Structure 1
Amino acid sequence: MGIDLKEWGVSMKHALVIGGSGILANTSLWLADEGFTVSVIGRDNHKLSKLTGMSKNIIPISVDYYNERLFSSEIHNSITTNGPYDLVVRWIHNNDKQIIDTISSEIRKVTNEGWNLFHILGSNSNLEDIRSKMDYIENCDYHQIQLGFIMENDKSRWLTHDEISNGVINGIKSNSKKYLVGTLTPWSKKP
Protein backbone atom coordinates (compact mmCIF):
# COMPACT_ATOMS: atom_id res chain seq x y z
CA MET A 1 0.00 0.00 0.00
CA GLY A 2 1.41 3.37 -0.99
CA ILE A 3 0.68 6.89 0.10
CA ASP A 4 -2.61 8.29 -1.20
CA LEU A 5 -1.26 11.70 -2.15
CA LYS A 6 -4.64 12.88 -3.46
CA GLU A 7 -6.18 12.18 -0.05
CA TRP A 8 -3.54 14.44 1.51
CA GLY A 9 -4.10 17.09 -1.15
CA VAL A 10 -0.43 16.91 -2.11
CA SER A 11 0.58 18.24 -5.50
CA MET A 12 4.28 19.21 -5.23
CA LYS A 13 5.38 15.99 -3.55
CA HIS A 14 8.48 17.26 -1.78
CA ALA A 15 9.63 15.42 1.34
CA LEU A 16 12.35 16.21 3.85
CA VAL A 17 13.95 13.40 5.83
CA ILE A 18 16.26 14.55 8.60
CA GLY A 19 18.79 11.83 9.27
CA GLY A 20 17.58 10.06 6.15
CA SER A 21 20.94 8.68 5.01
CA GLY A 22 21.48 6.37 7.99
CA ILE A 23 18.87 4.22 9.71
CA LEU A 24 16.12 5.95 7.72
CA ALA A 25 17.80 5.43 4.32
CA ASN A 26 15.19 2.86 3.27
CA THR A 27 12.46 5.31 4.27
CA SER A 28 14.05 7.96 2.04
CA LEU A 29 14.26 5.52 -0.87
CA TRP A 30 10.66 4.40 -0.37
CA LEU A 31 9.43 8.01 -0.47
CA ALA A 32 11.44 8.53 -3.67
CA ASP A 33 9.81 5.41 -5.15
CA GLU A 34 6.41 6.86 -4.17
CA GLY A 35 7.11 9.85 -6.41
CA PHE A 36 8.44 12.36 -3.92
CA THR A 37 11.46 14.53 -4.47
CA VAL A 38 13.24 13.69 -1.22
CA SER A 39 15.61 16.18 0.36
CA VAL A 40 17.77 14.22 2.78
CA ILE A 41 19.69 15.94 5.55
CA GLY A 42 22.77 14.14 6.74
CA ARG A 43 26.23 14.81 8.08
CA ASP A 44 28.01 11.86 6.46
CA ASN A 45 28.88 12.73 2.86
CA HIS A 46 29.73 9.11 2.03
CA LYS A 47 26.26 7.90 3.11
CA LEU A 48 24.58 10.78 1.27
CA SER A 49 26.53 10.01 -1.90
CA LYS A 50 25.63 6.32 -1.70
CA LEU A 51 21.95 7.19 -1.24
CA THR A 52 21.85 9.61 -4.17
CA GLY A 53 23.36 6.91 -6.35
CA MET A 54 20.33 4.74 -5.60
CA SER A 55 17.63 7.21 -6.71
CA LYS A 56 17.50 10.27 -8.93
CA ASN A 57 14.74 11.63 -6.66
CA ILE A 58 17.10 12.00 -3.69
CA ILE A 59 18.53 15.49 -3.12
CA PRO A 60 21.39 15.45 -0.57
CA ILE A 61 21.75 18.25 1.95
CA SER A 62 25.02 17.91 3.82
CA VAL A 63 24.55 20.06 6.90
CA ASP A 64 24.83 19.76 10.65
CA TYR A 65 21.40 20.76 11.96
CA TYR A 66 23.05 22.05 15.14
CA ASN A 67 24.53 24.88 13.06
CA GLU A 68 21.37 27.01 13.12
CA ARG A 69 22.44 29.62 10.55
CA LEU A 70 23.69 27.12 7.99
CA PHE A 71 20.72 24.79 8.59
CA SER A 72 18.27 27.64 7.99
CA SER A 73 20.07 28.60 4.78
CA GLU A 74 20.02 25.01 3.47
CA ILE A 75 16.30 24.59 4.26
CA HIS A 76 15.57 27.89 2.49
CA ASN A 77 17.58 26.79 -0.58
CA SER A 78 15.86 23.39 -0.63
CA ILE A 79 12.38 24.94 -0.57
CA THR A 80 13.31 27.60 -3.13
CA THR A 81 14.62 24.93 -5.52
CA ASN A 82 12.06 22.13 -5.01
CA GLY A 83 9.00 23.78 -3.45
CA PRO A 84 7.66 23.61 0.10
CA TYR A 85 7.75 20.34 2.00
CA ASP A 86 4.55 18.33 1.94
CA LEU A 87 5.96 15.75 4.31
CA VAL A 88 8.75 15.95 6.89
CA VAL A 89 10.23 12.97 8.73
CA ARG A 90 12.40 13.91 11.64
CA TRP A 91 14.36 11.87 14.10
CA ILE A 92 16.43 14.29 16.11
CA HIS A 93 17.67 13.71 19.60
CA ASN A 94 18.14 17.31 20.72
CA ASN A 95 17.35 20.86 19.63
CA ASP A 96 13.89 19.85 18.34
CA LYS A 97 12.16 23.20 18.75
CA GLN A 98 14.78 25.24 16.89
CA ILE A 99 14.84 22.77 14.01
CA ILE A 100 11.07 22.56 13.59
CA ASP A 101 10.76 26.35 13.96
CA THR A 102 13.24 26.80 11.11
CA ILE A 103 11.43 24.32 8.85
CA SER A 104 7.98 25.74 9.65
CA SER A 105 9.14 29.32 9.13
CA GLU A 106 10.66 28.54 5.74
CA ILE A 107 7.51 26.69 4.61
CA ARG A 108 5.30 29.62 5.69
CA LYS A 109 7.41 32.03 3.61
CA VAL A 110 6.20 30.36 0.40
CA THR A 111 2.80 28.80 1.18
CA ASN A 112 -0.08 28.59 3.62
CA GLU A 113 -0.80 25.02 2.53
CA GLY A 114 -0.78 22.26 5.11
CA TRP A 115 2.07 19.81 5.55
CA ASN A 116 2.64 16.56 7.44
CA LEU A 117 5.25 16.07 10.15
CA PHE A 118 6.14 12.52 11.18
CA HIS A 119 8.12 12.75 14.42
CA ILE A 120 10.15 9.65 15.33
CA LEU A 121 10.34 9.18 19.10
CA GLY A 122 12.06 6.77 21.47
CA SER A 123 10.42 4.30 23.82
CA ASN A 124 10.81 6.58 26.87
CA SER A 125 9.12 9.54 25.19
CA ASN A 126 6.03 11.08 26.75
CA LEU A 127 3.89 11.42 23.63
CA GLU A 128 1.23 13.67 25.16
CA ASP A 129 3.80 16.07 26.58
CA ILE A 130 5.63 16.27 23.25
CA ARG A 131 2.38 16.67 21.29
CA SER A 132 1.31 19.57 23.53
CA LYS A 133 4.58 21.34 22.68
CA MET A 134 3.87 20.97 18.95
CA ASP A 135 0.46 22.67 18.96
CA TYR A 136 2.00 25.98 17.90
CA ILE A 137 3.07 24.73 14.45
CA GLU A 138 0.89 26.40 11.82
CA ASN A 139 -0.77 24.32 9.08
CA CYS A 140 0.96 21.17 10.30
CA ASP A 141 -0.68 17.74 10.56
CA TYR A 142 1.46 16.28 13.36
CA HIS A 143 2.08 12.52 13.67
CA GLN A 144 4.13 10.54 16.19
CA ILE A 145 5.92 7.28 15.43
CA GLN A 146 7.22 5.73 18.63
CA LEU A 147 9.97 3.13 18.56
CA GLY A 148 9.55 0.32 21.06
CA PHE A 149 11.24 -3.04 21.35
CA ILE A 150 10.65 -6.64 20.29
CA MET A 151 9.73 -9.55 22.57
CA GLU A 152 11.04 -12.95 21.43
CA ASN A 153 10.88 -16.10 23.55
CA ASP A 154 10.26 -14.07 26.72
CA LYS A 155 13.36 -11.95 26.00
CA SER A 156 13.47 -8.44 24.65
CA ARG A 157 15.70 -6.69 22.16
CA TRP A 158 15.84 -3.30 20.50
CA LEU A 159 14.54 -2.86 16.98
CA THR A 160 16.95 -3.50 14.11
CA HIS A 161 17.68 -0.74 11.56
CA ASP A 162 15.41 -2.48 9.03
CA GLU A 163 12.60 -2.81 11.58
CA ILE A 164 12.90 0.89 12.40
CA SER A 165 12.89 2.00 8.76
CA ASN A 166 10.03 -0.35 7.81
CA GLY A 167 8.12 0.73 10.92
CA VAL A 168 8.48 4.38 9.94
CA ILE A 169 7.25 3.55 6.43
CA ASN A 170 4.23 1.74 7.89
CA GLY A 171 3.59 4.67 10.23
CA ILE A 172 3.57 7.09 7.29
CA LYS A 173 1.30 4.78 5.29
CA SER A 174 -1.13 4.55 8.20
CA ASN A 175 -1.34 8.35 8.46
CA SER A 176 -2.18 7.77 12.16
CA LYS A 177 -1.65 10.41 14.80
CA LYS A 178 0.19 7.82 16.92
CA TYR A 179 1.93 4.73 15.59
CA LEU A 180 3.96 2.23 17.60
CA VAL A 181 6.78 0.19 16.07
CA GLY A 182 7.28 -2.95 18.16
CA THR A 183 5.87 -2.97 21.68
CA LEU A 184 6.20 -1.12 24.97
CA THR A 185 4.90 -3.97 27.10
CA PRO A 186 5.81 -5.41 29.37
CA TRP A 187 7.82 -2.30 30.26
CA SER A 188 9.71 -4.27 32.91
CA LYS A 189 11.19 -6.40 30.09
CA LYS A 190 12.54 -3.42 28.15
CA PRO A 191 16.15 -4.15 27.07
Structure 2
Amino acid sequence: MFTDDVNHNVATLTSLIISAQARHVPHGAYRVDPRDHLWFGYRCRQAADAKHKAWTCLKRRFSRRHKAQHRAACKTMARVATGARQSEAAVTKLLRSTDTRKAPGHDDVSPFLLKHCAEELTKPLTHIFRQCLQTSTWPAAWKEARVTSVNKKKDKGDPANYHPISLLSAVSKILERITAEQLTCHLEERHLISPQ
Protein backbone atom coordinates (compact mmCIF):
# COMPACT_ATOMS: atom_id res chain seq x y z
CA MET A 1 0.00 0.00 0.00
CA PHE A 2 2.81 2.44 0.88
CA THR A 3 5.00 2.23 -2.20
CA ASP A 4 5.05 5.84 -3.43
CA ASP A 5 6.66 8.96 -2.01
CA VAL A 6 5.90 10.19 1.49
CA ASN A 7 3.20 12.67 0.39
CA HIS A 8 1.25 9.92 -1.38
CA ASN A 9 1.65 7.60 1.60
CA VAL A 10 0.35 10.26 4.00
CA ALA A 11 -2.63 10.94 1.72
CA THR A 12 -3.39 7.19 1.49
CA LEU A 13 -3.18 6.68 5.25
CA THR A 14 -5.29 9.78 5.89
CA SER A 15 -8.04 8.59 3.54
CA LEU A 16 -8.05 5.16 5.22
CA ILE A 17 -8.32 6.71 8.68
CA ILE A 18 -11.08 9.09 7.59
CA SER A 19 -13.13 6.31 5.96
CA ALA A 20 -12.76 4.11 9.08
CA GLN A 21 -13.67 7.07 11.26
CA ALA A 22 -16.79 7.82 9.21
CA ARG A 23 -17.94 4.18 9.51
CA HIS A 24 -17.15 3.49 13.16
CA VAL A 25 -16.97 6.74 15.16
CA PRO A 26 -20.32 8.29 16.17
CA HIS A 27 -20.58 11.86 14.96
CA GLY A 28 -23.10 14.51 14.13
CA ALA A 29 -23.52 18.14 13.13
CA TYR A 30 -24.00 20.79 15.78
CA ARG A 31 -25.65 24.10 15.03
CA VAL A 32 -25.07 27.15 17.18
CA ASP A 33 -28.08 29.18 18.24
CA PRO A 34 -27.24 32.87 17.64
CA ARG A 35 -29.17 33.80 20.81
CA ASP A 36 -26.80 31.74 23.00
CA HIS A 37 -23.98 33.33 24.95
CA LEU A 38 -20.48 32.92 23.53
CA TRP A 39 -19.55 30.53 26.34
CA PHE A 40 -22.64 28.36 25.66
CA GLY A 41 -21.08 25.53 23.67
CA TYR A 42 -21.96 21.97 22.68
CA ARG A 43 -21.84 20.53 26.22
CA CYS A 44 -24.10 23.31 27.48
CA ARG A 45 -26.58 22.61 24.69
CA GLN A 46 -26.64 18.88 25.56
CA ALA A 47 -27.17 19.65 29.25
CA ALA A 48 -29.91 22.18 28.46
CA ASP A 49 -31.70 19.68 26.20
CA ALA A 50 -31.48 16.98 28.90
CA LYS A 51 -32.85 19.43 31.48
CA HIS A 52 -35.75 20.37 29.18
CA LYS A 53 -36.51 16.70 28.50
CA ALA A 54 -36.54 15.95 32.25
CA TRP A 55 -38.81 18.95 32.87
CA THR A 56 -41.23 17.78 30.16
CA CYS A 57 -41.41 14.29 31.73
CA LEU A 58 -42.01 15.80 35.18
CA LYS A 59 -44.69 18.13 33.84
CA ARG A 60 -46.55 15.35 32.00
CA ARG A 61 -46.51 12.90 34.87
CA PHE A 62 -45.38 13.91 38.32
CA SER A 63 -43.50 11.18 40.17
CA ARG A 64 -40.57 10.98 42.58
CA ARG A 65 -38.42 9.41 39.89
CA HIS A 66 -39.15 12.19 37.38
CA LYS A 67 -38.55 14.80 40.08
CA ALA A 68 -35.16 13.22 40.92
CA GLN A 69 -34.24 13.09 37.21
CA HIS A 70 -35.16 16.76 36.79
CA ARG A 71 -33.17 17.76 39.88
CA ALA A 72 -30.12 15.81 38.61
CA ALA A 73 -30.46 17.45 35.15
CA CYS A 74 -30.62 20.90 36.77
CA LYS A 75 -27.45 20.21 38.76
CA THR A 76 -25.68 18.94 35.64
CA MET A 77 -26.75 22.03 33.70
CA ALA A 78 -25.49 24.33 36.47
CA ARG A 79 -22.14 22.49 36.66
CA VAL A 80 -21.61 22.53 32.88
CA ALA A 81 -22.61 26.20 32.57
CA THR A 82 -20.25 27.14 35.40
CA GLY A 83 -17.39 25.32 33.67
CA ALA A 84 -18.17 27.05 30.39
CA ARG A 85 -18.25 30.48 32.06
CA GLN A 86 -14.94 29.71 33.74
CA SER A 87 -13.29 29.45 30.31
CA GLU A 88 -14.08 33.15 29.83
CA ALA A 89 -12.61 33.84 33.27
CA ALA A 90 -9.48 31.88 32.29
CA VAL A 91 -9.04 34.04 29.17
CA THR A 92 -9.44 37.21 31.24
CA LYS A 93 -6.93 35.96 33.82
CA LEU A 94 -4.34 35.14 31.14
CA LEU A 95 -4.86 38.46 29.37
CA ARG A 96 -4.32 40.32 32.64
CA SER A 97 -1.15 38.35 33.36
CA THR A 98 0.39 39.02 29.93
CA ASP A 99 4.03 40.05 30.19
CA THR A 100 4.15 43.55 28.70
CA ARG A 101 7.95 43.40 28.32
CA LYS A 102 7.64 40.80 25.55
CA ALA A 103 8.03 41.93 21.94
CA PRO A 104 5.03 41.67 19.61
CA GLY A 105 4.93 38.97 16.97
CA HIS A 106 4.43 39.17 13.21
CA ASP A 107 0.87 40.52 13.67
CA ASP A 108 2.19 43.52 15.71
CA VAL A 109 -0.44 43.01 18.45
CA SER A 110 1.11 44.54 21.53
CA PRO A 111 1.09 42.51 24.78
CA PHE A 112 0.58 45.86 26.55
CA LEU A 113 -2.72 46.33 24.69
CA LEU A 114 -3.83 42.77 25.51
CA LYS A 115 -3.17 43.30 29.21
CA HIS A 116 -4.83 46.69 29.53
CA CYS A 117 -7.87 45.85 27.36
CA ALA A 118 -8.47 42.43 28.93
CA GLU A 119 -12.13 43.09 29.78
CA GLU A 120 -13.00 44.28 26.27
CA LEU A 121 -11.08 41.50 24.50
CA THR A 122 -12.26 38.54 26.61
CA LYS A 123 -15.53 37.82 24.78
CA PRO A 124 -14.25 38.03 21.19
CA LEU A 125 -11.08 36.08 22.01
CA THR A 126 -13.03 33.37 23.86
CA HIS A 127 -15.27 33.02 20.81
CA ILE A 128 -12.28 32.73 18.46
CA PHE A 129 -10.47 30.27 20.77
CA ARG A 130 -13.59 28.06 20.94
CA GLN A 131 -13.90 28.21 17.17
CA CYS A 132 -10.24 27.17 16.78
CA LEU A 133 -10.69 24.21 19.14
CA GLN A 134 -14.05 23.09 17.72
CA THR A 135 -12.87 23.21 14.10
CA SER A 136 -9.31 22.00 14.87
CA THR A 137 -7.95 25.03 13.01
CA TRP A 138 -4.91 27.11 13.81
CA PRO A 139 -5.23 30.50 12.06
CA ALA A 140 -2.65 31.19 9.35
CA ALA A 141 -1.76 34.55 10.92
CA TRP A 142 -0.62 32.73 14.08
CA LYS A 143 1.68 30.44 12.09
CA GLU A 144 3.87 33.32 10.97
CA ALA A 145 6.73 34.57 13.12
CA ARG A 146 9.08 37.52 13.17
CA VAL A 147 12.61 36.12 13.27
CA THR A 148 15.28 38.22 14.89
CA SER A 149 18.85 37.50 15.92
CA VAL A 150 20.04 37.75 19.52
CA ASN A 151 23.64 38.06 20.67
CA LYS A 152 24.99 35.31 22.94
CA LYS A 153 26.87 37.87 25.10
CA LYS A 154 30.09 37.43 23.18
CA ASP A 155 31.84 39.38 20.41
CA LYS A 156 29.10 41.31 18.59
CA GLY A 157 31.21 41.49 15.44
CA ASP A 158 31.21 37.71 14.95
CA PRO A 159 28.04 36.43 13.17
CA ALA A 160 28.53 33.01 14.83
CA ASN A 161 27.73 34.61 18.21
CA TYR A 162 24.11 35.25 17.26
CA HIS A 163 21.17 32.86 17.39
CA PRO A 164 17.73 33.39 15.86
CA ILE A 165 14.53 33.60 17.90
CA SER A 166 11.00 33.52 16.54
CA LEU A 167 8.55 36.06 17.91
CA LEU A 168 5.07 34.54 17.75
CA SER A 169 1.69 36.24 18.07
CA ALA A 170 0.90 37.19 21.67
CA VAL A 171 -2.72 36.14 21.13
CA SER A 172 -1.71 32.65 19.97
CA LYS A 173 0.40 32.24 23.11
CA ILE A 174 -2.71 32.76 25.25
CA LEU A 175 -4.55 29.94 23.47
CA GLU A 176 -1.45 27.76 23.82
CA ARG A 177 -1.38 28.41 27.57
CA ILE A 178 -5.09 27.61 27.96
CA THR A 179 -4.68 24.36 26.03
CA ALA A 180 -1.57 23.39 27.99
CA GLU A 181 -3.30 24.04 31.33
CA GLN A 182 -6.36 21.99 30.33
CA LEU A 183 -4.25 19.08 29.08
CA THR A 184 -2.02 19.09 32.15
CA CYS A 185 -5.03 19.21 34.47
CA HIS A 186 -6.70 16.32 32.59
CA LEU A 187 -3.54 14.19 32.66
CA GLU A 188 -2.84 14.85 36.34
CA GLU A 189 -6.42 14.24 37.50
CA ARG A 190 -6.51 10.87 35.75
CA HIS A 191 -2.93 9.92 36.72
CA LEU A 192 -1.92 9.54 33.07
CA ILE A 193 1.56 11.03 33.44
CA SER A 194 4.22 8.38 34.06
CA PRO A 195 6.55 8.99 37.05
CA GLN A 196 9.43 8.44 34.58
TM category, shorter: under 0.3
Q: Which has the larger radius of gyration?
A: 2
**Which of the pair is proportionally richer in helix?**
2
TM-score by length of 2: 0.25
Flag the structure with more relative contact order, 1 or 2, with Cα contacts below 8 A and sequence separation at least 6.
1
TM-score by length of 1: 0.26
**Which of the pair is proportionally richer in strand?**
1
